[in-house]
Amino acid sequence: MSTAEIVADGLASPGGFEATLYRVDPPIQGTDHLLVWHQPRMFGQPGQMKVVLATPGGAGYGKRMDAIAGTYVTDEPNHHLALQLAGGYQIVTPETVEVES
């Protein structure tokens, strides 16, 4: 199963929208991080989910911020669908490990 785990939430995206940084497995186009955000409807243009390749620090991979597969037009934010379209990724949470004392 292709997975996406949240690394950081509330990061600034281009345009100042709140973005989420995900670590993905398997990697895509040379990196294992994606930055995802919703750009709301503005100036008569519909909203858009944006997906870009990222570094572990949340910067554009290769110093670029080009939209990749997973980017689509919508007025409703949906990270689950954007990640599914980007590479079949399912959002997972780190498993809680119980430590016996």
* pLDDT confidence of residue 81: 97
CA–CA distance, 35 with 1 (Å, rounded to integer)? 20
Q: Identify how many contiguous H helices and E strands the chain contains and give both numbers.
A: 1, 6
- How confident is the prediction along the chain (101 residues), in pLDDT tens digits per residue? 899 999 999 998 888 899 999 999 999 999 999 999 999 999 999 999 999 999 999 999 998 889 999 999 999 999 999 999 999 999 998 764 344 54
DSSP letters for 3-48: EEEEEEEEEEPTTS-EEEEEEEEEEETTEEEEEEEEE--BTTBPPE
